Structure 1
Amino acid sequence: MSEGEFKAAVQEGNLKKAALIAQKMMKSFGCFHIAVVGNAGSGKSSFVNAFRGLGDDDEGPAEVGVVETTMQPTPYSHPENPNVFLWDFPGIGTPNFPSAKFELTVACYKYDFFIIITDTHFKDIHASLAQKIREQKKKFYFVCSKVDKDLDAGRRKKIYSEARILQQIRDDCKTHLQRAGVNDPQVFLLSNWQSDKHDFPLLKETLEKVLPYHDTRQKLLNISNQTLQEKKEAMKKTTWKPAILSGGLAAIPLPGLSLVADIAIMVDCMRDYCKDFGLNSESLAALAKQVGKREEDLKAVIKSPLATEITIDLVLTLLSNAAGGGVKYLSFLGKNFIPVLGSLISAHVSFGATMIMLDNFIRDLAEDTQRVLAKALGEEEKKSK
């Protein structure tokens, strides 16, 4: 699979094929191993479960308990990429995993990245772990996994400020690590029981950028964006054909003919354009199945109407507004339409309205396709430019 094949699939509007090629290219790097290390009871196993979107009682989680439950490093697959593994380590410094064994493991095994976890405050042992990891020219993040306990304690005081408490914890963590010789440490404060709060989302986003497939995915998304821009410009050069047909019919002195012709031309063109970009229901269903996501989630990032939503009433309303320069679909979809017909009588207005409407629609489809591909490939939605 190659970048050229990916570009061709995007150009054809075959989003399922584009996603398949992207998936194979993103997995070609091999496996990536993330070691989750820290002292016993620091919440390593619960962190692995929370990161994977599992509760401690769900099927297939890392084992947790009030005593040390992890006897040897155990791998668990990343929630979105089976080639990425999170390794749940035994507590460092325990009889099952003394510091010397950890140092040997870091030096000899193929862990690519480390997350150093504490449940309270970072100590010299955590700084020592960081130094050993750095000696192997590998990278790491620090995670304080139970800030909910500090916040609960703070609520018992007369004056409570969550932001102030979190900042105090962050400053204290960084100060101690810097004193122990760790320069510019990256510290994330979170609760294993609230994976949508505090620094947990930021940790996932930041960690995503160090994974080897991140650069490949970003490069492919850049290619798709360029391809879609080229496709948009090429398609916009063809909108004069239906516009001329519409304008020509408007000049024929038969009552209602222009309006009927405009509707038919626009409905057909817009539905065909949806299919050309791969934004019809059949294509989106196939894409969703390919990437293992819900079709509804892919459709949620689409801002223009889908082919099934392009109706006579929608076209009438959008045509009557197109001459004003711009279209906002959400203000029309799902509402009762009262189209303004007077501005559609003139051949000049009909030609202009058709051109504006189709050009705008093609532009919006290109942006929607880029958003759908980004969502399908696991990238957070970004505003198209």
Structure 2
Amino acid sequence: MMLSWPRKLRMLGRSSTLLGPKVDSDLYSEERTRPRTFRKEQVLQRIRDYCLSNLTDIGVSEPRIFLISNFDLDAFDFPKLEETLLKELPGHKRHMFALLLPNISDASIELKKHFLQEKICLEALKSGAVSFIPFMPFISGFDLPQQEQCLKDYRSYFGLDDKSIKEIAERLETPLEDIKGQLKCLDFWSFVKDDSIIARARSAGGAFCSVKGGLGSSVVQALKVYYTRTQFLNVVVEDAKHLLRKMETVNIA
């Protein structure tokens, strides 16, 4: 078998190697030319052994091979690659890497949620600290435009922005409006519109605390930020998992 990998090796540090989408091509070629003797795992192992040998020959110490698919990221070694990078990247890069991961499984979605939940806690504490000063929540509070942008950011992190939803609808061969109708995270006003007496009383109490400042204002503002952002996050995560199930159904079919 002619392996195309040595020309496409990309290094991840001194001892790791990431291999790109030619794995799919090698598997396809091998299955087509040798249909009777084709064994997927044997081909993958030959690719790993071949790359390992070449990397050792050029002086790479303790090389680690990650085979990934260009069509199915959940296949082969991509989950191991995720785990490795999350362990070895610096803290700030680890956070960004997690948010950029595709929604290939419930685990990857939950991983994003975990990192964003940590960020929500920090943002709530920060907002609470600023709100200790009288009138500051009115100046730098978590108002409606900020809340709407927050929800849009979460949708983007989980591939639920308008462009991505359109692409998913096309891939599922389903009308765009049908897909949108299944997603709760698209209706921002359903989150914030509450005309009940309890909601009005809570709003009035928060405004009173904001005028006075102090510990009461800090607690109220921190809880508001934490609760609102967490509510956004939970709904977006639920929608992301829902679309993942639909995509998996199409892939299986």
Higher helix content, 1 or 2: 2
Higher strand content, 1 or 2: 1
**TM-score, normalization by structure 2:** 0.48
Tell which has more relative contact order, 1 or 2 (C-alpha 8 A, sep 6+): 2
Highest Rg: 1 or 2?
A: 1
**TM-score, normalization by structure 1:** 0.33
